[in-house]
Structure 1
Amino acid sequence: MASRCRIAISVGLLFLSAVSPAFPFLEANITFGSSKEIRKYRRIQSRLIWLNKPSLRTFQACSISPDGDIIDCVPSHLQPAFDHPLLKGQTPLDPPERPRGHWRTDFAEEESFQLWRITGEFCPEETIPIRRTREEDILRANSHAVGYVSGDQYFGAKGSLNVWAPNVKSSSEFSLSQIWVISGSFGEDLNTIEAGWQTDAYQATGCYNLLCSGFVQTNNRIAIGAAIRPTSAYAGGQYDISVLIWKDPNHGNWWLELGAGELVGYWPSLLFSHLADHASMLQFGGEVVNTEPSGFHTSTEMGSGHFAGEGFGRASYFRNLQLVDWDNSLVPVAGLRLLADRPGCYDIQGGVNGVWGNYFYYGGPGRNTRCP
């Protein structure tokens, strides 16, 4: 299956909203086998109308972006974040104080890293770019290879990860590489914030990208969920992005920054329980969802699709891993632990040096002779 590499963000709290159709249902020349299928179709079309906000400008992806994205420039106060009942009537906040030790350069050399920006244009001020949601984005045993720290109070995480376009076996699976900021108890009241890149979008319910309210976007140049370019090539050029998530010490919101200083937006603190205070675990790495029948493993790739031992130019990597401490300072990650729950399918190897700081290589091909 052809895969598309996208910037992806998520919040691990699931906020469900009851959606009442406010507009006529869209009609199409489709044959349904049952009244249940008709009801499902109408629910999907109603949700698409609700999700895709009125726009001031639209970039037609068929002529601008070969990945097929359509980008709508939506007034910032109408973005999906403010559909959440706790955020009704709010508007985006001003930029926060960045962590001490933060290195920032002009973002100009990276500002066209998404395909929809290939013409050099971007959305007007007071609007944000939103990738138009399609029907297939609503319809659809994990394996991990991660580095992590836990047991302390954390107020953010930063790392650079190279971007690939791994092969994904089916539309019900995905492969991602990202940073997790975590607090709470697994299986109970777990809060997570996640940001990175992903092949294809999640096709299940959950707060990924801007499909449901919560994340407040403040940037008019970056479209969450839109395709990234370029991607790394095996034994060729390597392209990476920097991701920083940190808690604003003045207002308590969790902000997202990409590249060398481009603020994207924030997750309001009031949406969380445990993360309203601090994180208790940080993770960096990859994840694959396996939908193969029991006893088999998917051939969906993680990262480059090659094992960590192949090293630079062939394996995926995270480098310059840092955390934000209680004093709002960026410091190197210490005591990084590595975990691959299916090392025959996807593995991980790490180290420390003077150029990359804390780093690791990770990934793999999925099903192979060591991973049946």
Structure 2
Amino acid sequence: MRSLSFEIMVVKLMAILLVETALLLVIGHVVLANNSNSKHERPQKVTTTIRDNFRRANGVIKSIQSEDGDIIDCIDIYKQPALSHPALKNHKIQMEPSYVPTTDQTTRKINRAKGKKNKPSKSEVPLSVIKQIWHKNGSCPEGTVPIRRNLKTNNKAVPIVSRRYQRSFSQLSQNNTSNLLRPNHALSVLRTDGHAYLGAQGSIAVYNPEVENPDEYSLSDISLENGGPEKFETVRSGWMVNPAVYGDKKSRFFTYWTSDGGHETGCFDHICPGFIQLSKNIALGVVIDHISTTPNKPAELMSISIYKDLDTNNWWVDSGEEKIGYWPGDLFDELIKNAEAIQWGGDVYSTRLETHPHTATAMGSGAYSSPVDWLSGSIRGIRILQNSMVWKYPDWASPYADQVNCYDNNLQVVADDPVFYYGGPGSGGQASKCP
């Protein structure tokens, strides 16, 4: 009996020991796992802290993820990229222009005296502010400016300009389809020159034209220029589809500048320093929300004004009443004085403009010019600034097209205010006359 009881006791003790051992093993495993996890977590926390500190050091206050894939960083206005340009080392940001041009000298003086904003008269085309998709997901706080994070950009992939005119503009025929005005560029523009210009304005219909190849682009914009054939200076702004720069085929608001014909200086948006941003609402290089669609719908417009501040020599860019920012006069040698020429219209870049087959990259809406609001590319409210500092239609302006069979234009007077229509399909589409 005793022997049996003893054996039962031994078995119970062994069972207890086995249970305790198993518990110890489980506890040890959990402890080791926790320690292991903590070792992995610490570097992650440190990395996050380093990244956040780096972003704060570079002025990033807030980031907004746009539904189109862009990331917009709200950056401290005093830490924006432009201020790293060597010519702007001691630049003091001009928070607002010294004056706001208007179409009537008397009204401008009265409004300035009363502190009122200048509103368009009944005869003027209403100015439309650029609408952008990222606005749906947030806004930047006061004291910051929205800068598109450059995830897929390649600024040097395709130059927006190669060289300026090889001969006098007046010597070129409207029907000339060879010897492009600019190599690899097909223009369909309204142009005025021969005077000293201090600004240009227009409301551009926004479309999303087909761009056939990744190394091609299509744009519609306003351009002001000065300087010699090889080292000319330009500031320009509008919308463009440029896969090489932006990584997709969406229509985006852009700015561009160069002080040497695009050889060494200048670039798009904020990809390199130069443009001083003031607006917290409009970002450069960002997808435009409202795109014109056909048929039978009025064109979606974006209004652009580019003008020189006589007090500072800075070139300002506005959209409607919104002051977007400026190019400092210190960037230029010739434009610091004035512009010699202005262009409104379309530009297609391709190495297949005088080849067969011709590129199918389209201009404007992708349709040939037509005096119907919803059919073709158009620019209305065309204005210039001269010494009077009052917006007016130019005394002389002439349409020009490199390849009228591919991209044509016409200028029509509508409601006593000329409208410039332009565009074309390239070699794409059944209606194309392009070789």
Please, what TM-score do these two structures have when normalized by structure 1?
Answer: 0.78
Give the superposition deviation at 1:135: 3.3
Partner AA of 2:245 in structure 1: Q
Specify which of 281, 284, 302 is matched with residue 221 of structure 1. Answer: 281
Higher alpha-carbon Rg: 2
CA contact under 8 A between 1:201 and 1:225: conserved in structure 2? no
Hey, what's the Cα distance between the residues in 1 that align with 2:149 and 2:288? Answer: 16
**Residue 256 of structure 1: SS of its match in structure 2?**
strand
* 1:183 corresponds to: 226
**Residue 290 of structure 2: SS of its match in structure 1?**
coil
Residues 110 and 240 of structure 1, relative CA distance in 2, 3 Å threshold: closer
Alignment length (residue pairs): 312
RMSD: 2.4
* 1:364 corresponds to: 424
Hey, what's the Cα distance between the residues in 2 that align with 1:173 and 1:367? Answer: 14
**Residue 362 of structure 1: SS of its match in structure 2?**
strand
* 2:71 corresponds to: 70
Q: Which has the higher contact order (CA 8 A, sep 6+)?
A: 1
Deviations along 1:79-136, one digit per CA (max 9) or x if unpaired, are 111111111143421211111327547xxx96671000014x3211111001110234
The reply to whether residue 148 of structure 1 matches residue 191 of structure 2 is yes
Give the superposition deviation at 1:311: 3.0
Give the superposition deviation at 1:216: 0.5
Hey, what's the Cα distance between the residues in 2 that align with 1:354 and 1:310? Answer: 12
* 1:116 corresponds to: 134
CA contact under 8 A between 1:111 and 1:221: conserved in structure 2? no
Hey, what's the Cα distance between the residues in 1 that align with 2:377 and 2:133? Answer: 22
Query: Which stretch of structure 1 is more off in the superposition, 189-198 or 288-297?
Result: 288-297
Specify which of 310, 316, 324 is matched with residue 264 of structure 1. Answer: 324
Deviations along 1:337-360, one digit per CA (max 9) or x if unpaired, are 0001011110000022335x1211
* 1:240 corresponds to: 301
CA contact under 8 A between 2:130 and 2:302: conserved in structure 1? no
Give the superposition deviation at 1:291: 3.0
Please, what TM-score do these two structures have when normalized by structure 2?
Answer: 0.67
Task: State the percentage of identical aligned residues.
Answer: 33
Hey, what's the Cα distance between the residues in 2 that align with 1:263 and 1:291? Answer: 36
Residues 53 and 348 of structure 1, relative CA distance in 2, 3 Å threshold: farther
Hey, what's the Cα distance between the residues in 2 that align with 1:161 and 1:240? Answer: 5
Query: Which stretch of structure 1 is more off in the superposition, 142-151 or 76-85?
Result: 76-85
The reply to whether residue 135 of structure 1 matches residue 177 of structure 2 is no
- Could you tell me which runs of 5 or more consecutive residues in structure 1 were left unpaired when the two chains were aligned: 1-48
Partner AA of 1:116 in structure 2: W
Hey, what's the Cα distance between the residues in 1 that align with 2:402 and 2:307? Answer: 28
Specify which of 169, 186, 210 is matched with residue 167 of structure 1. Answer: 210
**Residue 366 of structure 1: SS of its match in structure 2?**
coil
* 1:125 corresponds to: 142
Hey, what's the Cα distance between the residues in 2 that align with 1:154 and 1:343? Answer: 28
**Residue 246 of structure 1: SS of its match in structure 2?**
strand
Residues 138 and 195 of structure 1, relative CA distance in 2, 3 Å threshold: closer
Hey, what's the Cα distance between the residues in 2 that align with 1:299 and 1:112? Answer: 28
Hey, what's the Cα distance between the residues in 2 that align with 1:324 and 1:196? Answer: 18
